[in-house]
Amino acid sequence: MIRIGILGYGNLGRGVECAVKQNPDMELAAVFTRRNPADVKILTESVPVCAISDVPKWKDKIDVLILCGGSATDLPEQTPVYAELFHVVDSFDTHARIPEHFAHVDAAAKKGGKVGIISVGWDPGMFSLNRLYANAILPQGKDYTFWGRGVSQGHSDAIRRVEGVKDARQYTVPVEAALEAVRGGENPDLTTRQKHTRECFVVLKDGADAAKVEEEIKTMPNYFADYDTTVHFISQEELDQNHKGIPHGGFVIRSGHTGWNGENSHLIEYSLKLDSNPEFTACVLAAYARAAYRLGQEGVTGCKTVFDIAPAYLSPKDGAELRAALL
Amino acid sequence: MIRIGILGYGNLGRGVECAVKQNPDMELAAVFTRRNPADVKILTESVPVCAISDVPKWKDKIDVLILCGGSATDLPEQTPVYAELFHVVDSFDTHARIPEHFAHVDAAAKKGGKVGIISVGWDPGMFSLNRLYANAILPQGKDYTFWGRGVSQGHSDAIRRVEGVKDARQYTVPVEAALEAVRGGENPDLTTRQKHTRECFVVLKDGADAAKVEEEIKTMPNYFADYDTTVHFISQEELDQNHKGIPHGGFVIRSGHTGWNGENSHLIEYSLKLDSNPEFTACVLAAYARAAYRLGQEGVTGCKTVFDIAPAYLSPKDGAELRAALL
């Protein structure tokens, strides 16, 4: 059994807890929180909730620690610290800072003789893998990534900061016509506006000016100004009832040409349609926790990404079983 | 530069030749044929066409030999023989005999200190990889593979053996309603007939009985009897003009559930739409030839499949470039 620890018990941590339950070769050893442990109720009976300061005491009782904090401030600090003590897996997703994070985790994991797998999830993660495979197979081609339809937490938060807004939920929506043009092999050059639209469901505070709120959202730099944005004003009840889920997904497409003169077209498409973004991300983290454990058993140390790990390490089946069943 | 040899110059061999041209870190060293080399014209200028008996003489002049023969009789014999002399890659696709083929290639490659990668292409190959990744991520779920719309060489050959048939082309077509049911998360149990239909374009010999030919095709065991099959009788000119391509493709879908009580649904879908089945397969072979070469440089020996190879080995970019560009 692979003994799993979870650090951070929000949506992602709870997702990892559910994923561990589905993997018969894993068991949950402990959950660590920055909150008062007595205030945190988890789903798994008889598993302790511990203070984050207790983590080092679990050094010999946990094989892989799955880090479920945020990329802005938690993971850049936590992943290197705990990679000295355990094999770790995180979902660090600030693309521009990945090289720096990789270097820190690599140094720490090597020092501790551990494996640290970073940027695991679906983007970065499964989408990255599909970009790599498709690029290697079709050197002459063009990449497209579309996200959605799904909830963007960052954009929802941005709307909530607008004066007069009580609550909000933002959906990122791929433009169907753009998807179809890509699938048709047209290799279009697409602007930001042509690829995605943004759909906002907003609950106003009493007395707020709807027209002003809508204008402020639609013209917000970085978040909305470059997109066609629609704003729907709804009641808190409606938001709670119809928009409480955290669905997401998207499409990675590579369109390329082969033949002596590039005469044949090919399309590789990978897509995800997810009811729960954090639960799916958690499932990917769990699979890579298995890989971290196994690589560790082989004496491998240092930082890895999804690019560095042979697919077989993710499966509980051995090589012969995999070749017979899935090849 | 990775020096590539091609053994067998049919559609697949020619596809590999085109793929090598697209990969700037590869060069074609020689093409080997069982035919009289003087009768074989290749596309690349100044590259020799040699008799298959000459292969051993190229031991120090070729890094990776890509085997482009058939799975029925060529590859079971050739791959183990040449895996002793070169790193090799093949597209062996007789699923039931993969374990046996693996064992033979493994023994030979280890004896020669080489790497042999077998069953590379899209199914087995990229489809297998996607089945593995999706199964590891969603342990509670169901797999679906659909093929087409595309030409099945085996079924086309079977029709050509029917008395009264001059020429034929058979397309395997996925049933749209079945695809939609799977995408809708219904996890249906599908019979052979519900998943694919078969569409046949047939040229009759002079004086042949169309009704008899159609009946014989539709009731042919293994090939057609379990499917809804349509037969179109056309002229040789029409066949040559409208059905000369070798398109194919398909869909690998896994539908699964997450959450404490399986309350959330997820869909992972990978699809290919290929103008040329052999050229796409050839591109996958070329990418894995790079992996074979690199693994060989690291001192790895023995037989591998797509499951055993970390994605980064397929790309000409190094780890830091990959993390910056594609993660």
pLDDT tens digits along A13-42: 999 999 999 999 999 999 999 999 999 999
Distance, in Å, from the CA atom of A136 to the CA atom of B284, rounded to the nearest integer, reads: 8
Residue pointed to by tokens 């889920």: A245
Read off φ and ψ for residue B47, nearest 5 degrees: -105, 130
User: Tokens 């009641």 appear where?
Assistant: A235
Interface of B with A in 142-171 (CB under 8 A): none
Nearest CA in chain B to A320: B99
Backbone angles phi, psi at A321, to 5 degrees: -65, -45
d(CA A102, CA A120): 12
Q: How far is CA A191 from CA A146, A196, A197, in A?
A: 12, 9, 12
> Given this model, what pLDDT does residue B203 score?
98
SS3 at position B204: strand
* Residues B51, B27 contacting (CB under 8 angstroms): no
Output the CA–CA distances (angstroms, integers) from residue A181 to A178, A195, A222, in the order listed.
5, 11, 26
- What length is written for chain B? 327
Residues from chain A contacting residue B272 (CB–CB below 8 Å) = 266-269
Nearest to A260 among B18, B133, B138 (CB): B18
Q: What is the pLDDT of residue A70?
A: 95
> In this structure, are residues B21 and B45 in contact, taking their beta carbons and an 8 Å threshold?
no
**Which of B17, B268, B323 lies nearest to residue A102, judging by beta carbons?**
B323
Distance from CA of B212 to the nearest CA of A (A): 37
Task: Please tell me the distance from the alpha carbon of residue B156 to that of residue B244, in angstroms, as a whole number.
Answer: 12
B92 in contact with chain A, both atoms CB, cutoff 8 A: no
Of B18, B135, B316, nearest to A259 by CB-CB distance is B18
Do the beta carbons of residue A311 and residue B314 sit within 8 Å? Answer: no
Q: In chain A, which stretches have pLDDT less than 70? A: none
Question: Quick check: helix, strand or coil at residue A149?
Answer: coil
CA-nearest of A185, A181, A132 to B247 is A185
Q: Which of chain B's residues have a Cβ under 8 Å away from the Cβ of A258? A: 15, 18-19, 22, 275-276, 279-280, 282-283
The CA angle B79-B98-B225, to the nearest 5 degrees, is 120
| A window 253-292, beta carbon within 8 A of B | 258-260, 264-276, 279-280, 282-284, 287, 290
Inter-chain residue contact A128 with B327, CB threshold 8 Å: yes
Strand partners, B302: B115
- Pairwise CB contact (< 8 Å): B260 & A183: no
Compare all CA atoms of chain B with the CA of A22 and give the residue at the minimum distance. Answer: B139
Burial of B1 (0-12, 13-18, 19+ CB in 10 A): exposed
Q: Give the burial string for A65-81 (b: 16+ CB within 10 Å, else e).
A: bbbbbbbeebbbebbbe
Question: Can you tell me the distance from the alpha carbon of B11 to that of B7, in angstroms, rounded to the nearest whole number?
Answer: 12
**Within chain B, which residues score under 50 in pLDDT?**
none
Q: For chain A, give the number of residues.
A: 327
**pLDDT at residue B117 in the model:** 98
**Residues of chain B positioned with their CB less than 8 A from the CB of A131:** 326
Determine whether the interchain pair B272/A274 forms a contact, defined as Cβ–Cβ distance below 8 Å: no
Q: Does B323 touch chain A (CB under 8 A)?
A: yes
Q: State whether B260 and A18 contact (CB < 8 Å).
A: yes
Chain B: closest CA distance from residue A254 (Å)? 10
Q: Which residue in chain B has the smallest CA separation from A16? A: B259
Nearest CA among A274, A132, A258, A171 for reference residue B185: A274
The candidate with the shortest Cα–Cα distance to B270, out of B137, B102, B118, B71, is: B137
Check residue A205 and report its DSSP letter. P
